Amino acid sequence: MKPFELHTPQSVEQAIQYLENANSLIKPMSGGTALMLMMKSGVYEPEALVSLSKVPSLHGISLDSNQNLQIQALTTLSEIEHSPIVKEYFLVINQSMKKLANVRVRNVACIGGALAHGDPHMDMPPLMTALGATVHIRSASGARSLSIENFYLGYYTTLLKEDEIIESITVPSIKNRYCLYLKCTTRSADDWPTLGVAVNLGLTNNHFDSSKVVLSAVVQTPTRLFEVEKLLDGKTPSESLFIEAGEIAANQVDPEDDARGSAVYKKQLIKVYVRRAIQNSMQGKVQS
């Protein structure tokens, strides 16, 4: 690995100073689980890294009086998984962590890195899109907040600028909603997903409302399936509706052949997993 400088700021202000006028050769680092792999393989050869791990204000999880969740960017995936707040109010996040990589990765990787990395084969971006999360971003020129739904532009590409860091994310309350994230892997259960589906469904008087259905991995960015959402809203849950949702989803997306499977195989996965995600979310408990 090529030598590089490592900065360890103690505050957000110091961190964004290091990144002021940053170019592609200087990057913020959270857990380093993705960055180190890219550096060891020579894909990325930075001049400097700005490690955010020693910034106290970037750690922690809290809930406001409306049950909205705030997660600071340097909170590890394990801390999120084991948080009593997350278990009680956002069980879907807790459950999704169990099959995200392995415990060694989750002990080190942080939510900021998991969202900023922009690899299409990741579990948090589709789930956070379905949950309607907002990312809060800082740089020397100020602060801004973006809906995660609009954050991903393409393969490893997000709206983040080189001088910006993710400070935290907010996830709105999912009280009384049915939420589930399902992934399909073609190797071990905790491998990178070949396909991911996240659903966040409301049910009023036994009719779906404000449905969100998000597909990932078979597409370059987490993608809301608007046609499926339109189909569900206003309808009563039924086996035939779930089947139709899967078929519409498969028609809405054009996956590509790759090492994880052919386009034909992935279309079949979409059909089955979208149906299953909607159906299984209804069998789970509504979030209290």
Contact residues: ligand FAD, CB under 6 A: 27-35, 37, 52, 73, 100-101, 105, 109-110, 112-114, 116-117, 122-124, 160, 165-166, 190-192
Kindly tell me which of 123 and 149 has the beta carbon lying closer to ligand FAD. Answer: 123
CB-nearer residue toward ligand FAD: 112 or 246 = 112
* Nearest to ligand FAD of 27, 275 (CB atom): 27
CB within 8 Å of 257: residues ≥ 6 apart: 263
Question: How far apart are CB 195 and ligand FAD at their closest, in Å?
Answer: 12
Query: Do the Cβ atoms of 177 and 268 come closer than 8 Å?
Result: no
- The least distance separating ligand FAD from the CB of residue 288, rounded to whole angstroms, comes to 27
CB closer to ligand FAD out of 60 and 237: 60
Outline where the chain has alpha helix (H): 12-19, 33-40, 77-82, 84-89, 91-97, 103-106, 111-116, 124-130, 226-232, 239-252, 263-283
CB of residue 43 to ligand FAD, shortest distance in Å: 11
Q: Whole-angstrom Cα distance, residue 170 to residue 48?
A: 29
CB 154 → ligand FAD: shortest distance, Å? 15
Q: Can you point out the beta strands (E) in 140-189?
A: 142-147, 152-154, 157-158, 165-171, 177-184
> With respect to ligand FAD, which residue has the nearer C-beta, 110 or 184?
110
Look-up of token digits 């360890």: 8
Q: Which residue is nearest to ligand FAD (CB)?
A: 113
CB of 172 to ligand FAD, least distance (A): 21
